[in-house]
Structure 1
Amino acid sequence: MIAPVGVILAGGRATRMGGGDKGRLELLGESILQRAIDRLSPQVADLALSANGDPTRFSDLCLTVLPDSIEGHPGPLAGVLAGLDWAAHLRATHVVTAAADTPFFPGDLVPQLLLAAEAQGKPIALAATPDPERGIARHPTFGLWPVALREDLRAALKDGVRKVVQWTDRHGTALASFPIDRGDPFFNVNTPEDLDVARGML
């Protein structure tokens, strides 16, 4: 498989953080978003940012900015679709997504997702971690997505599907499990308290 392209999902409205682009919040002098870019860019053939509103506010990042093509802020699946449409334009076969508010995700995210999809024979792969209560926790904004399913996803969004796993479960999903022995690699910053925790993790 040709290396997938990457999309960082930054289209949320950050209501629990008081609005704005929470990816711009800083951890020891570097933004959460820049940390995500630095982690994902070496793993993919090209990189874009899924975000709505004025794209020029991200001009310093020198990334293609992809707005939702579905109105009404339908959530991360809309960002996945925007990434798939962009990937199709590039003639890429797959997209890997990562959330902009998750500064510690694994440096081997992409190869592990690719391995999981191949080994388990599934078209989609999602990141997962052990969970003492549920057995395993899926992280649906960290996934490998085939461009071949983009029209199916577009139709699902138009039909009102909003939860990522509601759509992925229709197609079969591989899980790439990541260890948590050094803490949750998918810890995401949703609130000011989370930001303090993330600073402590550094």
Structure 2
Amino acid sequence: MPNLPGVILPGVILAGGRATRMGGGDKGLRVVAGKRLIDHVITRLSAQCSPLAINANGDPARLMEFGLPILADSLPDHPGPLAGVLAGLDWAAGFGASAIITAAADTPFFPENLAAQLVANAGPTGLCLAASADPSDKMQRQPTFGLWPTALRHDLRAALQGGLRKIVLWTDSHNAGSAEFASQPFDPFFNINTPEDIVAAEILMGRA
């Protein structure tokens, strides 16, 4: 996939998880600093990508108010985020897009230059994952934030049907690039999994 500067790619918000640590339901509909979590994510991703869609399972009516396509996993039994990526790739391929950018629905602080950096650091197959430094300054990949070429969707479908679930095993097999982001003053990929994380996010937003 050519890395063309200025190209705007579709964005897919991955919201297909079951939020077990939050007590179930849609994490994206929890309120953080006066706004639903998914509203924070939509605002940040819509400034970088167009059009947008949401990957979510269950009754799509609960998310229709956002005015975005709701993409369910095409594979059964909640096989994980890669199934959401696949749903996004199939959607984008339908209107001729060369790739998608993904962002998790529970991560409100992801970088405002996420899409540009993913494209700039794409590997030879066009894949790229975001990464940020952990407390020991070791780079950790953020596998739900990535650049995914639609040309690889059939390979991904076959891998999922064969039982693969771990994102980095598949991306490593396709020589994904890595877009590294600083973790100061805090990790931009801080994600909300528990009620306590909501409190921490509100502190970071200066609203607690």
TM over 0.5: yes
SS at match of 2:24: coil
Q: Please, which of 107, 116, 122 is the counterpart of residue 111 of structure 1?
A: 116
Q: How many residues align?
A: 200
Cα pair 2:133 2:187 within 8 Å, conserved: no
Could you say which residue in structure 1 is the equivalent of 2:138?
A: 135
SS at match of 1:4: coil
Give the CA deviation at 1:132.
Answer: 4.3
Structure with the largest fraction of helix: 1
Identity percentage of aligned residues: 55
Deviation per CA, 1:2-38: give whole Å up to 9, x if none: 4210000000000000000011111121011110000
Could you say which residue in structure 2 is the equivalent of 1:67?
A: 72
Could you say which residue in structure 2 is the equivalent of 1:146?
A: 149
Matched, 1:201 2:170: no
Q: CA RMSD in A?
A: 1.1
Task: Supply the distance in 2 between the matched residues of 1:137 and 1:54 (Cα, whole angstroms).
Answer: 34
Q: Please, which of 176, 183, 188 is the counterpart of residue 179 of structure 2?
A: 176
Give the CA deviation at 1:196.
Answer: 1.2
Which portions of structure 1, spanning 4 or more consecutive aligned residues, are displaced by more than 6 angstroms?
none
Could you say which residue in structure 2 is the equivalent of 1:125?
A: 128
Unaligned runs of 5+ in 2: none
Question: TM-score scaled by structure 1?
Answer: 0.96
Question: TM-score scaled by structure 2?
Answer: 0.93
Task: Supply the distance in 1 between the matched residues of 2:149 and 2:102 (Cα, whole angstroms).
Answer: 11
Residue identity in the other structure for 1:172: N
Give the CA deviation at 1:83.
Answer: 0.2
Give the CA deviation at 1:130.
Answer: 1.7
Could you say which residue in structure 1 is the equivalent of 2:95?
A: 90
Matched, 1:167 2:170: yes
